[in-house]
Structure 1
Amino acid sequence: MQGQEFDELLAAVRKIATDVAARHANDVDAQARFPHESVAALRELKVLSAAVPASFGGYGCSMVQQAQLCAAMAHGCSASGMVLAMHLIEVACIARHGMESPYFVDVLKRIVADQTLIASVTSEVGTSGDTRSSICAVQRDGDRFTLEKAATTVSYGQHADALLVTARRAPDAAASDQVLVYLEKGDYTLTPTSAWDTLGMRGTCSPGGQLTAQGPIERIVPGSFADSSAQTMVPYSHILWSALWWGIAADAVSRAAAFIRAAARRNPGVTPPAAGTLALATAELQAMHHHWLQSAAAFDAIADDRDALMAMGWALKMNNQKIQASEAAPRIVHQALQVIGVMGYKNDSPFSVGRHYRDSLSAALMISNERLAEKSASMLLVLKDA
């Protein structure tokens, strides 16, 4: 997407974040309800097709551009930013790995026309959070399949128009020999198996669910999930999540800055005591911003080089990106809280950062930092000049 055209789109998304998402964010959080208003506004602007190539009518946004859209939405509402990010991750997997299939070409066109919202079903009971391992399997019968999966979380599954599901390629396949399966309404039933009463990210509405599906085998994304995971799902997840976590932290710092300015107006010529802490938070926020922007630009530079995206050095870079951002976000929000003090601690204050704090704490749990650190450690044993 070209510069001025994207600038106009980003400005429109920022307006949605301010006028719609932020206005409903506290209620979305308090009621643990889906951010319907934000998603409706994004649909009207056709942002749900941001990752669809322009040749199919989408915006054809780069990774840098998609990350900026997610950051903008998260600045107004964390859940809205996360829903947008998760959806774009799923669309990217289809756009980058389904192009050889006439069915998935049609899916991309329908995403543009209908603004289809796609949810992710990568977690599974019994795999201990390892998305690169499945217990469930695709059962083929001629040109059709059946699939059953017990998912620990289904991202906004009850509010989605379609699902993208991981499963073993066949009942006799290894746990890591997985495929992606696209399920349309009518292909499946999804029965909640748990509640979604969480500390933060309450509006993502992602309880566990029992999935039962059947459909034509054309619903299976060509190739292996090992490739689509390394080349698309992992970099998209870690970069877009980092951007939205930055958006959460940026809004908290904005509230801290407004608090300091108000204090300075009450005492002209006197620098408020907490201004130094604000300066430190701003510096860390800037570093976090630079980090995910650089990672997004690095992806754009090699987006079509599938070998480079499969390299160990790139995998390590993505692990580091996710760990750095997920640990920085709550730390920055905490600094903002220290600046504001009790007015940031109170939920009924215009300077409250309680929601930001709780939402940012989810970051380290989304693909556990400990799991990523273990994988990085094993790579560092053989990777030179990391």
Structure 2
Amino acid sequence: MNVQEVHFSSLAAESGRSFQQRAAAVAEAAATEAVAVDREARFPRKAIEAARKERLLGVQIPIEFGGEGASILEVADMCYALGRACASAGMIFAMHQTKIACLVRHGAGSAWHERLMRRIAHEQLLMASSTTEGQNGGNIRFSTAAVEREGAEISLVRDATVISYGAEADGIVTIARRADDAAGSDQVLLAITRDDYTLEPTLAWETLGMRGTCSAGFKLNFKGSADQIFPVAYNKIHAQTMTPVAHLCWSSVWAGIAAAAVDRAQLFIRKAARGAGGSMPPGAAHFTSAKMTLNKLRAIIAANLESYATSEHDEHMLSSVDFQSAINLLKVEASELAVSTVMHAMRACGLSGYRNDSDVSVGRHLRDVLSAPIMINNDRILSSMNAATLMSAVPMSLRD
């Protein structure tokens, strides 16, 4: 690590500000434009610029490559804080951090990927994700587009139906078939940077919620070096890092959205009770339900975070049926609980929560959180888990 990289990576430590304090500063910036980001379906530029200023985009990068070596626990807490302020900003941050986790865990030892880690830490590059293509319906374990090889050079043309914040990103992490004659499930992961590819818009992003993620469709044209392919097979990356980190970070964002809705419900109930001389309004029971559901949501995320943090370097454990079932069920349960929490919060507020022009409006939060069950559709996950859950033993005690 050179002198300049040491300087940048140590700025936060020298200031004495914690990750939590720096994430709070980003969340504050995100909150100032959350309404406009949603209304105009525009990229949350203030939030991402604040994340760059606080040097959080490279926070997971190991210290030896100029980062700060943040843990999954610390990153998930940042996702929660940003989700409370602006769902789109939180989800962009979560998706970026998922790609960085793949780079950190599976790029070590590759000179090209280590250089990219240094660049991300130094330049605070924003990395997008491209895992959905053509008509595969979100099945990211099957690719149509294949890597073409010509000596040490490779190319890829990919019909990406969704590249979240692709037009704003400095690079993309994408999957593809290993070669023309490879099966759709024989995949590789590539990290590519802005000077390697072009994007041709194909699909707009006009959605109910998560509008600021700007998840438009593009035709991706890439030419670069074979060194940009991760040295580890994608099936291993998918099981050990991509899926668990994505589900933990996404769930943390959804929990943040739910917490913001509960905040508004609490404000409404307190105001209503004061106005009625202490008598609880009819929606008070829904506020209690919202608070209880949020507590359950946070508890299951915390349990899975602890499980992953304990086992993240144990390849046997990460590949086990029990772990894979648990981390996939986290996504399903967290997304459903988040929706339930926000619905209870809206019913606690009644018409005031339903309105878009009140200080306790929950409409934006509901529209955003409704994306949760369909981001990698819960039905697809549950359907794919049928055989695995049959093989998994039923616990014999509460401690198993």
The reply to whether residue 13 of structure 1 matches residue 16 of structure 2 is no
**CA–CA separation in structure 1 for the residues paired with 2:170 and 2:20:** 25
Which of 100, 116, 132 is the aligned partner of 1:123? Answer: 132
What is the CA-CA distance between 1:375 and the residue it aligns to? 1.6
Which of 25, 34, 51 is the aligned partner of 1:25? Answer: 34
**CA–CA separation in structure 2 for the residues paired with 1:8 and 1:94:** 24
What is the CA-CA distance between 1:321 and the residue it aligns to? 0.2
CA root-mean-square deviation: 1.5
What is the CA-CA distance between 1:20 and the residue it aligns to? 1.3
Native 8 Å contact 1:28 1:203 kept in 2? yes
The reply to whether residue 377 of structure 1 matches residue 386 of structure 2 is yes
For the residue of structure 2 that corresponds to 1:186, the secondary structure is helix
1:142 alignment partner AA: G
Native 8 Å contact 2:261 2:342 kept in 1? yes
Which of 273, 280, 288 is the aligned partner of 1:279? Answer: 288
Mapping for residues 239-254 of structure 1, pairs under 5 Å: 239-254=248-263
Mapping for residues 227-238 of structure 1, pairs under 5 Å: 227-238=236-247
Normalized against structure 2, the TM-score is what? 0.93
**CA–CA separation in structure 2 for the residues paired with 1:170 and 1:223:** 15
For the residue of structure 2 that corresponds to 1:272, the secondary structure is coil
Mapping for residues 18-167 of structure 1, pairs under 5 Å: 19-167=28-176
Match of 2:329 in 1: 320
Distance 1:297 1:276, change over 3 A: same
Structure 1 residue runs of 4 or more that deviate by more than 4 Å after TM superposition: 4-7
Superimposed CA distance per residue, residues 214-233 of structure 1 (whole angstroms, 9 cap, x where no aligned partner): 00111111111100000000
Native 8 Å contact 2:165 2:214 kept in 1? yes
1:13 alignment partner AA: A
**CA–CA separation in structure 1 for the residues paired with 2:26 and 2:51:** 8
What is the CA-CA distance between 1:29 and the residue it aligns to? 0.3
Which of 330, 335, 340 is the aligned partner of 2:349? Answer: 340
What is the CA-CA distance between 1:7 and the residue it aligns to? 7.6
Superimposed CA distance per residue, residues 38-70 of structure 1 (whole angstroms, 9 cap, x where no aligned partner): 000000000001221223221211111111000
Mapping for residues 352-363 of structure 1, pairs under 5 Å: 352-363=361-372
Which of 213, 221, 227 is the aligned partner of 1:218? Answer: 227
**CA–CA separation in structure 2 for the residues paired with 1:306 and 1:350:** 48
Which segments of 5 or more consecutive residues in structure 2 lack a partner in the other structure? 1-11, 396-400
Give the % identical residues. Answer: 40
Mapping for residues 180-199 of structure 1, pairs under 5 Å: 180-199=189-208
2:268 alignment partner AA: F
Native 8 Å contact 2:265 2:345 kept in 1? yes
Which segments of 5 or more consecutive residues in structure 1 lack a partner in the other structure? none
Which of 287, 292, 297 is the aligned partner of 2:306? Answer: 297
Superimposed CA distance per residue, residues 304-354 of structure 1 (whole angstroms, 9 cap, x where no aligned partner): 111211111111001110000111111111100101111111111111111
Superimposed CA distance per residue, residues 214-254 of structure 1 (whole angstroms, 9 cap, x where no aligned partner): 00111111111100000000001111100000000000000
**CA–CA separation in structure 2 for the residues paired with 1:7 and 1:272:** 41
Which of 355, 364, 367 is the aligned partner of 2:373? Answer: 364
**CA–CA separation in structure 2 for the residues paired with 1:141 and 1:86:** 31
Native 8 Å contact 2:201 2:216 kept in 1? yes
Native 8 Å contact 1:126 1:135 kept in 2? no
Native 8 Å contact 1:139 1:146 kept in 2? yes
